[in-house]
Amino acid sequence: MKEQQQVTPQQAGGISRRNFIGGAAAAAMAVSGTASAAKAVGLPKKFQLKYAPSLGQFREHAGRDPIDNLKFMADMGFSAMFDNGLMGKPKDMQEKIAREMDRLDMTLGPFVLYADFGKKSFVTRDEAIREMLIKRMKEGVEVAKRTNAKWALVVPGRFDEGLEWDYQTANVIDNLKICADVVEPSGLVIVIEPLNAWTDHPGLFLTKIPQSYQICRAVGSPSCKIVNDIYHQQITEGNLIPNIDMAWEEIASFHVGDNPGRREPGTGEINYKNVFKHIHKKGYEGVLCMEHGKSKRGKDGERAVIEAYRACDDF
């Protein structure tokens, strides 16, 4: 009897990924390795926009290995990825992820550089906090160099109940200027994120797109822009497309999630097909981070996410 071959976890992830694509497609790619062969057997084409799954979003199909996840994303037609926890990963893993993304011609979305929801930080003139922010920005620059990241996300923290709002705004602007001065020489762009106070994040200073636009204009740096989280802004103010147009020159990235529920497009009230079509028509070439959960569990849920983006990208 022939000895049974053992399968490693990494190989198992690859098998699962190929099974999702289809046996015929995998066989054709293995033989020829050409894009034409993939097209002939029906592999998914690239999406029109750079929708970016998070690492682990497809773990039921790809396993937990980041490289297997990236390969699966690329096979499904995604040309971007985001990882909020990138800064916390070991340096060698950051570099490994960057090499694989470069090989797959994928773009890295914003990683979280600073987001302390429990602290009054940017709204203050505290020198110790400014020193902390400068140190954090320098660390972010090093991560960006290792990973080829273009954008890093910043949340300005909580508002101060005991300080006039306009003074707080001025402090946020001054602190962002300091941060932008640190990152600008490297080419890294800070993207500030307004978050909703009604459902998820009560007490934070930055909540609206017009507010974020005003601050970015005042900072006046190419390294201080906005990440427009469409889920949050549907809750806070709605009027999604007009606000995108009004703030367009200061928007560098998007986050995606439907409302209510913060799941994939098509599960809530947002007409994502129209939003994506509008963004594409404006010539957007950046990343749209898929920062949401799934409406179903397991592999069915992961398939539903991919199918939802296929439906919304069909314009």
Q: Which residues are catalytic?
A: 193, 291
Report CA dihedral (14, 16, 22, 25) to the nearest 10 degrees: 0
Note whether 213 and 246 are within 8 A (CB): yes
* Residue given tokens 């029109």 in the structure block: 48
Beta strands in 44-202 (DSSP E): 50-52, 80-81, 107-108, 111-115, 151-155, 189-192
- Say how far apart CA 254 and CA 275 lie, in whole Å: 11
Structure tokens at 133: 């922010």
3-state SS string for 195-232: CCCCCCCCCECCCCHHHHHHHHHHHCCCCEEEEEEHHH
220 CB neighbour count, 10 Å cutoff: 10
Note whether 108 and 149 are within 8 A (CB): yes
- Say how far apart CA 49 and CA 276 lie, in whole Å: 8
| Residues with Cβ within 8 Å of residue 117, at least 6 apart in sequence | 155, 157, 158, 201, 203, 204
The alpha carbon of 222 is separated from its chain's Cα centroid by a whole number of angstroms, namely 19
